Amino acid sequence: MDFELSDDLKAARDLARDFAAKEIAPTAAQDDKEHKFRKDLVRKMGDLGFYGAIVPESYGGNGLGFLALALITEEIARVHAAIRVYINMQIGPALALLHFGNEEQKKKWIPPLVRGEKIGCFAITEPDAGSDVAALRTTAARHGDTYLLNGTKIWISNAPVADTALIYAYTDRAQKHHGISAFYADLNQAGVSRRSLDTMGVHASPIGELTFENLRVPAENLLGKEGDGFKICMWQLNQTRLSCAAGALGVARAAREAAVGYCNQREQFGQKIGQFQMNQDLIAQMVAHEEAARLLVYRAAWLADQKQPNNLEVSIAKYTSAEAAAFAADAALRILGAYGYSTEFPVERYLRDAKSYQIVEGSSNIQKIIIAQDALGYRKANRS
């Protein structure tokens, strides 16, 4: 087993780290406070090739791989978790198009996402369909060479600002989940209404509701065949879930660094507070959880680069890193006390942002179900 990163991977990591420090960190607190979407950062990250790590050069990417993407994502999320979401909103649709689209669709739609010219999103969740994707109610009825989409999607990242969306809808409800199809649609047209939603954290990543009322989508925008939607959705979530896990790792790291720095600075009762065993206990747990999560995330990414099945490994990584981030952020706030609770310091933001990782891209409970059912032999996660 070789744990050494290649020169290319180190360069990608260092580029992302430098970008985050210079372009994201100076305004992170203000962007969070103002709920400001940074379209300029979307484009700058596209220019640097961050979205192209898992896209071949023929479609505008650089093909560095999933491990490179994990390293990039960790560095971005360490500085501001909300900006990390921008990565998933670009690569989610791009990867689905790459894996399931025809050549014309790939050449037409992937490069603008990779360059950050088009703001992307993917629309799965509905008011009554969260973890249970098959419960969605949005429909797509074909009329000649056009589909008419009707329904509502909620809690969709980038919904208020996206130009395009990968939308999942029923084309044949009688077939249950086998009747779900996937469409790549232009959101800047009649038939789409948007409503912004406020959340506890990740404030610089806009989230909202999309309502479709006879939204016209050309039949040529169908991804794969009718009925392929559930398969596409499950495959896509496994890819974006991996990037999400890397983001949680970045938040865990940020919280740990803040706690360690404060322990070595703050003095109480005549000594640095890092000398107190209760704080050492928290620091030790933070380090152990983070390092375990890092190895699991990198393993899942490595498997993806080797084109090996990794659904189980991604679920383990996502669960572990999400829990590590939540623990680290809570522990850091306890160590910093009033300073951690204050909005003048970033730790309270880490806590708010960390909670999202236990929910998005499949909640921690869903990951535990996947892991347990695989272990029990009820449903193998890495089935072909």
Active site members? 361
Cα–Cα distance, 162 to 374 (Å, whole number): 36
Cα–Cα distance, 23 to 13 (Å, whole number): 15
Cα–Cα distance, 247 to 5 (Å, whole number): 19
Other C-beta atoms closer than 10 Å to the C-beta of 189 total 10
Residue carrying the six token digits 């669709």: 105
State how far Cα 87 lies from the chain centre. 7
The residues, ordered by sequence, that sit 6+ positions from 327 with a Cβ below 8 Å of its Cβ are 252, 285, 286, 289
Cα–Cα distance, 245 to 251 (Å, whole number): 10
Query: What six digits make up the tokens of 300?
Result: 């899942």
Distances from the Cα of 240 to the Cα of 25, 220, 263, 359, angstroms: 24, 25, 35, 13
Cα–Cα distance, 145 to 227 (Å, whole number): 17
**DSSP string computed for 41-63:** HHHHHHHTTSGGGGS-GGGT---
Q: Which backbone phi and psi does 185 adopt, to 5 degrees? A: -125, 150
Instruction: Dump strand ranges (E) for the chain.
Output: 122-123, 139-143, 146-157, 164-170, 180-186, 192-197, 207-218, 222-223, 267-268, 271-272
Query: What six digits make up the tokens of 195?
Result: 């409503």
Q: Is 223 helix (H, G, I), strand (E, B) or coil?
A: strand
Cα–Cα distance, 284 to 72 (Å, whole number): 26
Distances from the Cα of 96 to the Cα of 19, 62, 223, 382, angstroms: 27, 17, 8, 19
Cα–Cα distance, 58 to 260 (Å, whole number): 45
The residues, ordered by sequence, that sit 6+ positions from 275 with a Cβ below 8 Å of its Cβ are none
